Amino acid sequence: MSVDTRDRPDWERDGHDWPHRAASRFVTAGGLSWHVQEFGPADAPVLLLLHGTGAANHSWRGFAPLLAGPFRVIAPDLPGHGFTDPLPDGTLSLPGMAKAVSALVQGLGVAPAIVAGHSAGAAILARMCLDGMVAPRLFAAFNGALAPLPGAASFLFPSMARLLFLNPFTPRLFAWTADSAAVRRLIEGTGSRLDPVGLDLYRRLFARAGHVRGALGMMANWDLDRLHRDLPRLATRTLLIVGGDDKAISPDTAFTLVKRLPDARVKLVRGLGHLAHEEAPERVAEILLEEARGLGIVSAPG
């Protein structure tokens, strides 16, 4: 299916006041043009951040600058999201996404000391760690989508997303109806509450059919069963940060997962939902920083 680039978010039109625009640049890697934001000194340990389905690197607008002192923070838009080119339809699987991000990491010439992802971004990073595409000292998952949905949803949800993805009118219909009230209801349905600026950034993206199509394509081709089976091989130190009010991924999932991982612990953050890192970036950043200090990746202050 051909992609109408006019439906994609446009950097000059939609990104004219994008958060931390001065930190943005465009990088060509793996045949794609990537929108990437970077913060912090070039010689600091690298922290790679991957947002979740339907978002873009604006998801880290409050979080990334908090870690830009001890780290060189790199936050791309995933393929088909925000201002990064989409992948061909046949490569939208979890391994395909992992290979695309690996190409970006290689193109940037970095070796992340920490990889951290939200929701589906965490699944991509877990796949990369398992397949030897990255070898970080710490993998952090923020409300990570690391297990299949319970019951019949594990079969119905990807199938429904696939049907919607294949219908060329679905993304446009969603984009036409993505007003401020609809976006607020969608976000609050995950257990999170965002400020007006955060909500407007999501509205701006959802108003572009190309971005919606990128999110639907990612969900339609998502197979978490294999990842879930492979998790006991994940030797990387793992930190599962969980919002206690997450309505998108049950907090109980992390406590079940930690039993299957060789070297992992759970940190529950009460009062926050699926977008915990956007609701309270200071709280979540401090948890990650404390873990990094404990592993000797960065030094304690003073």
pLDDT at 213: 86
Q: Domains of the chain: which residue ranges?
A: 5-294
Give, in degrees to the nearest 5, the angle at Cα 76 between 73 and 82: 140
Each residue of 137-172: pLDDT tens digit? 999 999 999 988 654 334 334 444 344 334 444 445
- What's 5-294's CATH class? alpha beta
pLDDT at 1: 39
pLDDT band at 296 (very low <50, low <70, confident <90, very high): very high
Does the reported pTM lie above 0.75?
yes
pLDDT at 191: 94
Quickly list DSSP for 198-240: HHHHHHHHHTSHHHHHHHHHHHHT--HHHHHHHGGG--S-EEE
What residues contact 249, with CB distance under 8 A and at least 6 apart? 119, 143, 144, 145, 274
From CA 63, how far away is CA 121, in angstroms rounded?
15
Amino acid (one-letter) located at 147: A
Give the position of tokens 């304690």: 300
Q: Is 110 exposed, middle or buried (0-12, 13-18, 19+ CB in 10 A)?
A: middle
Q: Is 5 exposed, middle or buried (0-12, 13-18, 19+ CB in 10 A)?
A: exposed
Amino acid (one-letter) located at 3: V
From CA 96, how far away is CA 79, in angstroms rounded?
10
Each residue of 202-225: pLDDT tens digit? 999 988 888 888 888 887 777 788
pLDDT at 149: 63
- How is residue 10 written in tokens? 């446009």
